[in-house]
Amino acid sequence: IERTLSIIKPDATRRNLTGKINAKFEDAGLRIVAQKRIQLSLQQAQQFYAVHSARPFFGELTEFMASGPVVVQVLEGEGAVLKNREVMGATNPKDAAPGTVRAEFAESVGENSVHGSDAPETAAQEIAFFFSGIELVG
């Protein structure tokens, strides 16, 4: 059974949307097998998003991710990586399908409420970035 890393971003925790977003994950059949609310330092945000370091929005992205609490979580289910990305919707909320997290809650392409791993391999790396084995309770 597959696992993926999800982050509820600062724009969403600020607006008290953690529960509503988690309900969408659970309604889609994803199980939250680990979860914690943390505040990333700028350095930690830069490390997590290192693959995007050459992109023009890297500074904006990492400053935003360090601007308030985030909820990092591991979601488990059949095809969890893809299923989570379906529930999230397109990166830009203007392109996100109705009913998705980003269509309902995202404020802009930058402040888009959630992150989800893009493949099983990156999911494994991203889960290990935030969680140790004993924190994952399937």
Task: In whole angstroms, give the CA distance from residue 49 to residue 65.
Answer: 10
Q: Pick the catalytic residue: 3, 24, 83, 115?
A: 115
Question: Choosing among Mg ion, ligand GTP, none, which partner's interface includes residue 112 (Cβ < 5 to 8 Å by kind)?
Answer: ligand GTP
Q: Does 57 carry a binding-site annotation?
A: yes
Q: Does 18 carry a binding-site annotation?
A: no
Residue 25: φ, ψ to 5°: -60, -50
Told to check if 110 binds ligand GTP by CB under 6 A, we report: yes
**For residue 39, how many other CB atoms are within 10 A of its CB?**
12
52 as an active site residue: the answer is no
Q: Does 122 carry a binding-site annotation?
A: no
* Nearby residues of 126 by Cβ (< 8 Å), 6 or more positions away: 5, 48, 117
Q: Which of 15, 57, 128, 137 binds ligand GTP (CB under 6 A)?
A: 57
End-to-end C-alpha distance for the chain, whole angstroms? 10
For residue 39, what are its two tokens?
């505040």
Please state the residue numbers annotated as binding site: 9, 57, 85, 91, 102, 112
Residues that bind ligand GTP (CB under 6 A): 52, 57, 60-61, 91, 109-110, 112, 115-116, 118
Residues of the binding site for ATP: 9, 57, 85, 91, 102, 112
